[in-house]
Chains A and B, each alone.
Chain A
Amino acid sequence: MSNTDFVLAVEDLTVSFDGFKAIDGVNLYIDRDELRVIIGPNGAGKTTLLDLICGKTRASGGSIKFRNEEIRALPEHARVRCGIGRKFQTPSIYENLTVFKNLEVSYPSGRSVLGALAFRCTEAVRTRVQAVADDIGLGDQLDTEAGLLSHGQKQWLEIGMLLMQEPELLLLDEPIAGMSVRERELTADLLQRICRQRAVIVIEHDMDFVKRIAHKVTVMHQGKILAEGPMERVQADPRVIDVYLGH
């Protein structure tokens, strides 16, 4: 039971922590060029689901297929090399390196020990860094130390670090948390731009933002999927209103 067209096919995925099922029999199919938003109340298992897909947490059962290949047994770095990029909830960047260095370190070559020793910052790397930096609006801040960036810029920088790897699947955990209204708009544009060549899964709470970017919305509740579909249909679903949107 698998469809080769999906970038990501999660089937019957389960994880339990000391008997508590944080994720309970979840099925999730993500298409190419799709931007999927996962919403749900706190503790619904949204972040855990992303952790399972990127390998930070090990699944207890079920399957995770990426481009029709089972990745459940792969360690994190191998999944990244397959093409899965993960952004964490709080911006996770190298604060005492410059923006340029942050992006350069994320360039997908020289990933082995010897490769890293032999790695040279070639013209190709520089061009790519500049292109990504322009994309995330930090094109003129390459020499700035990352710790000095604003909170929103740090979030963009981390997205940029993922883009350096040219992933086919991006997992973004609350990318606009703590951003100003203007920064949210820019981020929405950025997400719409970057999902053209890849699939993106976003966890988000801000409904206006979700409406603006989502192709499809998945609602999670107590480790299970409660509803799935276009935003309008999900919003009208009485069960969703009951557990999440109602209050």
Chain B
Amino acid sequence: MPDPTSSALAPASAPRRAYAALQARGLIGVGVLALLILVALPLALDPFRLNLVGKYMTYGFVAIGLVVLWGWGGVLSLGQGVFFGLGGYAMAMFLKLEASDVASTRIQSTPGIPDFMDWNQLTGLPLWWKPFAHLPFALAAVVALPMLLAFVVSYAMFKRRVGGVYFAIITQAIALIVTVLIIGQQGYTGGVNGITDLKTMMGWDIRGNDARLVLYYVTAVLLLASILLCLWIQRSKLGTLLLAMRDKEDRVRFSGYDVSMFKVFAFCLAAGLAGIGGAMFTLQVGFMSPSFVGIVPSIEMVIFAAVGGRMSLVGAVYGALLVNAGKTYFSETFPELWLFLMAALFIGVTMAFPNGLAGLHASHVQPWLARRGRRASSAEVVAPAPIAAPAEVRSAAEPSAAKPVPAPLGAPLPPEASA
């Protein structure tokens, strides 16, 4: 937000101009979020609650993907749970294989394969499970599998100009299909229970408090890096084109752009981010199951982005954190009411604040901050003139008398003295 007073105060306002420049790049919000999740929350919360926040943050990956895809690109996906799940399952398959070594599965009729396979009368590891025994492959698959599926689906749809509500319905159908597939193929996927009893990653126990703290920080840093990546995309021509496509698709097409490929890109990016979120979820929670894949979780993910603000990356992360915190609190207190509350929240937010919390911030908090800033800066301009001269005289005489002068000008923005 350009500050109108900054030009009038040119020499004194270098810090403020730096602030405005950062603000224009959206970095102030990222900085505040970084302080919150890297410093404030770890100091304030006990390990159990912090682990919960780490879990909520994994939904932040999905939410920022939805900002790019839905907020900027205008493509609503009701199937992000699929990509979250694919990333989560890829990670879980690696961890499960590590937990299923011959020594610890001695009692099974076929030792050395995951327990649920043994229960389903499988006598050997399926071929497509084998590569997941290697960590580099599993890590690559966390991002690549969701993106690959996203590419196939979105290429087929967008090249045929399927869009809007039809695309949303198809993504929802995919969420349902994948859930049914996972539950039905119990011997290969663990069925409705999912993949459980995950213990170590390359010998490192992921269940202890120390490990969870490390995983929390890994998640936080990855999330911040993802936000910066999306901010960079927003500032590139691609970001402009996404917004342009949303409003005037034909004009973009007749400016020589292959609109479908830009939508495919946004969809694949959102899928890849969701995959990272899913993998970090598996690591922190210790299991993965179809209940994070289907229609309901997919719609919840859209609600995170809507509540936080679908145009704002940072807002969407707050949305994911707050809605999940609310979900934990309310489902502990009034379990039957939670779904209704969630629906009311979604309807209320979309009707009253279509741009979510971030929209509220932009329309109410920022103007208020700007007003305060202006008041402070006008004090800065007007007040020193009559006071400065006597202050100099006085300070020459008795240094302590100079102190009251900067004090009322005060804290909010650095006054001339600091420049």
Contact = CB atoms under 8 A, between A and B. Distances in A.
B416 interface: no
A161 interface: yes
Contacts of A86: 254
Interface of A: 54, 56, 75-77, 80-81, 85-86, 88, 92-97, 101, 104-106, 108, 110-113, 116-119, 158, 161, 165
A110 B237 contact: yes
B248 A92 contact: yes
A105 B261 contact: no
Contacts of B254: 54, 56, 76-77, 80, 85-86
Given A92-B250, A95-B247, 15 more contacts: A76-B253, A76-B254, A80-B256, A92-B251, A93-B251, A94-B243, A105-B244, A105-B252, A106-B255, A111-B256, A111-B257, A111-B258, A113-B262, A161-B255, A165-B256
Given A76-B253, A94-B251, A95-B247, A116 B238 contact: yes
Contacts of B233: 117
Interface of B: 233, 236-238, 240-241, 243-244, 247-248, 250-259, 261-262, 264-265
B253 A77 contact: yes
A143 B202 CA distance: 56
A97 B244 contact: yes
B24 to A, nearest CB: 14
A119 B247 contact: no
Contacts of B255: 80, 105-106, 161, 165
Nearest to B259: A77
A97 B251 CA distance: 14
Interface of B is mostly: helix
Nearest to A77: B258
6 contacts: A86-B254, A101-B240, A111-B257, A111-B258, A116-B241, A161-B255
A34 to B, nearest CB: 21
Nearest to A82: B256
B226 to A, nearest CB: 16
Contacts of A104: 237
Contacts of A161: 251, 255
Nearest to B159: A75
A203 B81 CA distance: 50
A124 B336 CA distance: 63
A96 B238 CA distance: 16
Contacts of A110: 237
8 smallest beta-carbon distances between A and B, as pairs:
A80-B256, A119-B237, A116-B238, A92-B251, A116-B237, A113-B265, A77-B258, A86-B254
Contacts of A76: 253-254
Given A96-B247, A113-B261, A113-B262, A105 B240 contact: yes
B145 to A, nearest CB: 21
A96 B247 CA distance: 9
Nearest to B268: A113
Contacts of B250: 56, 88, 92
Nearest to B264: A113
Nearest to A115: B237
Contacts of B261: 112-113
A156 B356 CA distance: 36
A161 B254 CA distance: 10
Nearest to A167: B256
A114 to B, nearest CB: 9
